[in-house]
Structure 1
Amino acid sequence: MTQSSSSKSTLGYFGWAFIVTIAGLVLGGLLGWNMTGTLGGLATAFFICAVLAVLEISLSFDNAIVNANKLKEMTPVWQHRFLTWGIVIAVFGMRIVFPLAIVAIAAHIDPWEALKLAATRPAQYAEIMHGAHLPIAAFGGTFLMMVGLTYFFNHEKNVHWIAFLEKAMAHFATIKGIEIAFVLIFALIFAGLLGGEDATTFLYSSVYGLLTFLLVEVVSGFLDASQKTMSAAAKGGLGAFLYLEILDASFSFDGVIGAFALTQNLFVIAIGLGIGAMYVRSMTIMLVEKGTLAHYRYLEHGAFYAILILSVIMYVQTLIHIPEVITGLGGAVLIGISLWSSIRYNKRNGLNHRSADEEPRDRANA
């Protein structure tokens, strides 16, 4: 991706997403017709696919912004690889393979049997998926919490949106491992609230989520350092790719589990969430090529606050059910407020007509 294509209209970035939407909704309708043989079944499947797509988009605004934040540091080759192979992994891996793997492990059956279970006994399949919600929420919530806290606990961070809070976190970032200690304390509190076997499961899953984050950080640094040794221009390569894939997986946990509240059909879920994933991809490309993150200085802050809230919600969902609409709207509202704050900042400082290349220098000198 190059800045030369930044003159493209906003709608121009969503061409493939629109094509996938039409194809997905048609396929969803045909699936409903095939299952029921009625127009009512066709309309129901069509509607559920559309709702799931909207749900995925609302839950993934912050995902797109974080992806763009990482992608802008990657070489064009690795950007292209993430936006092609990465989206294949996101759509088919997380929306189809991941649920099948969870059911296969939980039910002690092979993946093919899990697929047949999804096709022939969707209610039992959904029950197994719901039964696996606690460890998934603990793992994903911990990983996302570390992503959010690592952004704010950074002593080099000098652009602050909620100044009193972010300045304090930047100050305490000099204490090594403070974000890890914060996450572990949080996990212990929730494990205590759960009690019994659930507490043990929650705690183990949280530790695995923490270790996964740390391992990805280590592997990312090692791989990217190796690539830089081979070529000074090879920045943000395989390590960054792996980081983004695991991050996308963590974002997807909540949507995949929540989708079973609307339908128990794995294939309808895959179509609906897959449509949403294409819009996330389009938003990511637009943010990178248009330099939106440079123009709106608080947009990243809003995304990372949304990540932190999502991680807490995933923890809380192990105790009580929280509707997915609240999860999605909460993140969207935060990002909207951060965008509004950025626009106000630009107006106050006469930055409306400045180029995307100038803003990073402003941020470095802030």
Structure 2
Amino acid sequence: MACKRLNGKEIEDGLNHTFIYSGKGIAAMGTAAHPGVHDLVQYLLGRSDGFSLTEEIRQAILHRENRALLAHVREEFRAILAACALHLPKSEGEEKIFEAFVGNLIALIPYTYPEEGEAFDIPIQSEGTWKMARYCVDRKIALTPKWFSSPIVAYGLVAQEGPPILSFIGTTFPAGEGHVATLLADFTPGLSVGHAPYLFGRDTISHWLAGKSGVQVYGTSLGGALALHTLRHHSEQLAKVCVFNPAGLYPWHWWGVSYDTGPKVHIYYQHQDLVASMGSFPTGNQVSVYRVFNHQPEDFLRAHARLYTGSHQVMMLRSDAQYENGRFCRRVLTVVHFIASFILFPLILLGYLLSVVYRRLVENIGSRLS
């Protein structure tokens, strides 16, 4: 079959459509009130290529929740969001990077475990201009049963001068609330990533969305998958869905569905990330897929955890959902996930049950000795 020869104008148009931005990332700094937290957050936001993990932070990540440290992380996020006002975009490419950076921060807020009533000043776009709006945590939405000691939650945020925001937590750190539940949600046999907690929390999500319009939904990793499940069932109330390194859903969820109208869907997929390389994405005129590249190669763990949009040099290219869904490696990883879930789910559950039994034995022995 003969190939069509493209003229110079067609090549230029294709490049202009694909190429979005290459240059500096968003250099918003935090408070440095807690040096260890500041260094960790700056590393996660791509502003540094390494940091020293203190024993206090290591314990808070791996072993025991530290609410004081989480409060410092929230303050760091507040300072960074406020600093974004000093880095407002001046071009279309810069605006895409800025929007992705701010959206990713919103998707990370659930990992700081704020309480209802806490406030965040967040940059929002209204009628073509960016402004700061004060958002309050309106509701912690449970996505697991009350009796489960490792709950998954989503956060509903509201503002007087901004659209409602729904932000889902993803697979959290070992000491974080909901760690085991998020792992189980990643590998529920026969179900797409996040489908089980979404089904449990669907009515609660519907109740929070009731009477609202123009809602913006955010999530990263598992949280991105939860956002995509929300898109499937509540698109009428949504204005925008932004997901970062999301696990795609199993292909049959999107059969017969095309988002040519309705909410805008932005899928950000960082180079070398493995999680976003499985499952299928929604398609349609309202769906945009962006590939984000760092200034230096990263392994798949760092590619999944860090924000390339905050790095010293970042490049963003436009991809296509149909192309991504058709990639051979994506289809293979999707099949591997489907099979592996039947093996990993019982192992994760068994490990969790054994840890609960062990903790109770230790507590009983300690109480008797005392």
- Structure with larger RCO (C-alpha < 8 A, sep 6+): 1
Which one has a larger percent strand, Structure 1 or Structure 2? 2
Higher helix share: 1
TM-score where L is the length of structure 2? 0.29
Report the TM-score when normalising by structure 1: 0.29
